[in-house]
Amino acid sequence: MRAGVQSVKGLNRCKMRTFGERPTAFQLEENGEFHYIGSEVGNYMRMFRGSLYKRYPSLWRRLVSVEERKRISTIGLGPHSLATNITLLKASEVDEIFEGRDDKYK
């Protein structure tokens, strides 16, 4: 299999093209829910400028607060602490999309 192309297990209909390393899920609170940063997921899936949210309109998402932005910065998840609008996505939903079970989010 070529680098950058990931086969979807159990499904023969398509392969998901990806770019770079898979994003890292993280918790904002101890024992809290895991999240991904929306722009990282979009870049990984090669969906830029909001096309991730157009393709998956039912995907849960929300903007981070000022305090959450500070926590993301201390975790060291990259330059996202400088962005004005950081969108969080539920890791459980994004993982389903990565595994090819994305129909319920379309």
Annotated domain spans of the chain: 26-105
Question: H helices of 6-65, where?
Answer: 38-44, 51-55
Distance CA 57, CA 54 (A): 5
Look up residue 30 and give its two tokens: 């101890």
pLDDT on residue 75: 83
The CA-to-CA distance between both ends of the chain, in Å, stands at 27
- Joined tokens for residue 69: 């932005």
pLDDT one-digit tens code per residue, 12-43: 345 667 778 899 999 999 999 999 999 999 99
Model confidence over 73-90: pLDDT tens digits?
888 876 766 678 899 999
- Tell me how far the alpha carbon of residue 97 is from its chain's centroid: 9
Report d(CA 89, CA 85) in Å as an integer: 13
pTM: 0.79
pLDDT-derived band at 97 (thresholds 50, 70, 90) equals: very high
Sign of the dihedral through C-alpha 94, 97, 98, 101: positive
